[in-house]
Amino acid sequence: MRVVAYNIQEFEKQTLAKANAKVHDLTLISNPLNLATIRYAVGKEVVIVSANDKLDKEMLQALSAIGVKKIITRSVSLNHIDVSFANKLGLHVANTPAEDDSPKNIAIQTIDNLNNWLDGQCFLGTCQCKIDSSVDKRKLHTKRKEYER
Over the stretch 56-84, which tens digit does the pLDDT of each residue have?
999 999 999 999 999 999 999 999 999 99
User: No. of H helices and E strands in the chain?
Assistant: 5, 5
Lowest mean pLDDT: which of 19-28, 36-45, 93-102? Answer: 93-102
Whether the predicted pLDDT of 4 surpasses 70: yes
Predicted structure pTM score: 0.83
Q: Which CATH architecture has domain 2-148?
A: 3-Layer(aba) Sandwich (3.40)
Query: pLDDT averaged over the chain?
Result: 85
pLDDT at 123: 55
Spatial contact of 124 and 96, defined as CB atoms under 8 Å apart? no
Strand, coil or helix: 92: strand
Cα Rg of the chain (Å, integer): 14
Whether the predicted pLDDT of 125 surpasses 80: no
CA nearest 33: which of 13, 56, 54?
54
